[in-house]
Amino acid sequence: MEPYLLFSTESKAIVYNLQERAIQRMLDFDYLSQRETPSVAAVVNPGNTGVHKVFWGTKEIMIPVYPGIKEAIDAHPDVDIMVNFASFRSAYPSTREALLNERIRVVAVIAEGVPERRSRELAHLSKKLKKIIIGPATVGAIGAGAFKVGNTGGTLDNIKEQKLYRRGSVGLVTKSGGLLNEMFNIISHNTDGVFEGVAIGGDKYPGSGLLDHLLRYEKNPKVKMMVALGELGGDEEYHVVEALQKGLLTKPLVFWVMGTCSKMFPTEVQFGHAGAKAGDERETADAKNAALKSAGAIIPKSFDSLGDEIARTFISLQDQGRITPVKEPETIPLIPIDYAEAVKKGMIRKPTSFITTVADDRGEEVNYGGYPISEIVHSGGKLGDVISLLWFGRRFPKWASEFIELALMIVADHGPAVSGAHNAIIASRAGKDLISCLCSGLLTIGPRFGGAIDDCAKYMEDAFERDLAPREFVEEMKRKNVKIPGIGHRVKSLENPDGRVTILIEYARKNFPRTDLLDYALGVQGITTQKKSNLILNVDGTIGVLMVDMLRGTDFFTHEELKEIVSLGYLNGFFVLGRSIGLIGHTLDQKRMKQRLYRHPWDDILYLVEKK
């Protein structure tokens, strides 16, 4: 490749540090420019190996990932560029390593804050080795239709609008990265476009200067005119003045030094860049513009008229026959938009594989029942709110969500003898893992253990809706030979009431708008306890009827919806969730005991025998 060319359509790069979006943008630019091969050959992600999946047009390809620069270059001998996204701490050693490798011609250093001493060392080394550094503190560079450094040029829409997908006749160099895209825009609307554009970075000691790139453009026969942006501070622009005076730059050069507004301030001004500060009159923008103009550069009256001067210069060259208008490609490839971006912009719709109405994680954050999780947390939401949203798709009032939490606390455990806990304990003793033990306990939930919550609610509500008196309901269940779910307890009775039931009823009486089904169930209890005093409304039955009263009290549901909630097993879900807490506790307890405390009776016998 000719030494005056920064990039060609064959240029290939390694990208230091895995910058997924920048890499994809480079490849999209390649595809838009109709390159035959991707410009990114490899990624260096220190200490890591593997592959990085990217799009090449509509196809997915894999880019290899290497742990170090040498490994990447050795594996890809056609690489001649490194785009360095290292931090300011590691920018110096990584850039130096790349420069010392004979295959690397150009290194673009994106990092800001690289120490000035290190920047000067790198600049000196690159000149000694006859290589080029772009940066530090640069947005990058672009060879129109050939190669793009990282995020240079912005979005694909910008690149298309500024015709950067094909070569133009203008060579551009600027200190300001922020104005690079604006200059692309100005040039594309006033000429046939950019051949190459470089932002050298705003540090005081850039790796390559304005003159370095202007001299390259001077030697490039396809660059017919040049445009440069400087700024106040330093003496970079005076190197250009000397080159103009010596006749080293002969092509038309439109130049503007920014910072002329500094004279409006009463004191010395430090602009955004490290080097943008005039130490004396000679370093002011006005002084530089005057010196450049006297040396032969084309200087507009202000930045606003920069585009007009560029247009006049281009038209003059065209009239002289020194520029042949660039032909547009017959077709410009269409770059597919990423699916996530298309969805965000509302540009695409896709049938769902399955649907859920209670949660959605497709946006910026998860939504529970239409509420962003951050809103739930910041508004003082608790577990009961999350359950109401995820199970019922509605946010319950505070009294209802607190009742949900109370119910979970009450059903969390009922000792190790119940079937669920017993099974979990045995599974734990058998050496099973936590999840297996939990599942073992949960599988016993049914009509005789926990399942009475649903069944009690179903039978009681049906009888209540049919206006059956409690005695009529009890007699009907007797005729059907069906035990009334939620009625009866082995230990508790009217004389020895269940404290958990008392807590639930007291909360409901105090907080619920109405307790119609609870009152009906207590009426049924009044009939059943006439036979035996232990045929009381137990904790499962109490939770079942109060859950229905709670749902009624929210006024969120129709009668049909309430029946569906009960029939689908929603209410038993509270028992499953609460009891899971207890089952996990029993499992972990047994594992802990087995590790530290458990002794089999035979251990004592063997101990005595051995002692004898």
The full length of the chain comes to 612
Strand order across the beta sheet in which 225-231 lies:
147-148, 141-143, 194-199, 170-174, 225-231, 253-258
Distance CA 324, CA 79 (A): 33
Q: What is the CA radius of gyration of the chain?
A: 39
Give the HSE-up count for residue 449: Cα atoms under 13 Å, Cβ half-sphere. 17
Instruction: Give the pLDDT of residue 181.
Output: 93
Instruction: Give the pLDDT of residue 261.
Output: 60
Contact 176, 257 (CB under 8 A): no
Distance CA 1, CA 8 (A): 8
* DSSP letter, residue 487: B
Distance CA 272, CA 288 (A): 19
Block residue for tokens 């190996």:
49
- The amino acid at 517: L
Instruction: Give the pLDDT of residue 599.
Output: 53
Instruction: Give the pLDDT of residue 365.
Output: 86
* Domain boundary assignment for the chain: 13-319, 351-411, 445-568
Kindly give the parts of the chain with pLDDT less than 70. Answer: 261-280, 352-354, 447-451, 594-612
Strand order across the beta sheet in which 367-368 lies:
359-360, 367-368, 371-372
Instruction: Give the pLDDT of residue 513.
Output: 95
Instruction: Give the pLDDT of residue 234.
Output: 83
| b/e per residue 472-506 (b: at least 16 CB within 10 A) | ebbeebeeeeeebbbbbbeebbeeeebebbeebbe
DSSP, collapsed to helix, strand or coil, labels residue 293 as: helix
Per the CATH hierarchy, to which homologous superfamily does domain 445-568 belong?
Answer: Cytochrome P450-Terp, domain 2 (1.10.230.10)
DSSP string, 354-389: S--SSEE-SSSS-EETTEEHHHHHHTT--HHHHHHH
C-alpha closest to that of 276 among 204, 180, 199: 204
Block residue for tokens 């001067």:
309
First to last CA, the chain: 94
Pairing assessment for the beta strands 81-84 and 225-231 based on DSSP bridges = unpaired
Instruction: Give the pLDDT of residue 528.
Output: 94
DSSP string, 101-125: STT--EEEE--S---HHHHHHHHHH
Q: 546 vs 103, 439, 486, CA distance in Å?
A: 77, 27, 12
Distance CA 148, CA 155 (A): 12
- The amino acid at 214: L
Burial of 576 (0-12, 13-18, 19+ CB in 10 A): middle
Phi first, then psi, for residue 37 (nearest 5°) are -135, 155
Instruction: Give the pLDDT of residue 601.
Output: 52
Contact 408, 574 (CB under 8 A): yes
Distance CA 198, CA 200 (A): 6
C-alpha closest to that of 406 among 512, 564, 303: 512
Distance CA 153, CA 598 (A): 70
Q: Is 273 a catalytic residue?
A: yes
Q: Which fold is adopted by the domain 13-319? A: Rossmann fold (3.40.50)
How many other β-carbons are positioned within 10 Å of the β-carbon of residue 69?
24
Determine if the peptide bond prior to 67 is cis (ω within 30°). Answer: no
- Is there a shared CATH topology between the 13-319 domain and the 445-568 domain? no
Q: Catalytic residue among 273, 422, 559, 600, which?
A: 273
Distance CA 215, CA 21 (A): 33
Distance CA 43, CA 50 (A): 10
| b/e per residue 156-195 (b: at least 16 CB within 10 A) | beebeebbbbbbbbbbbbbbbbebbbebbbbbbebbbbbb
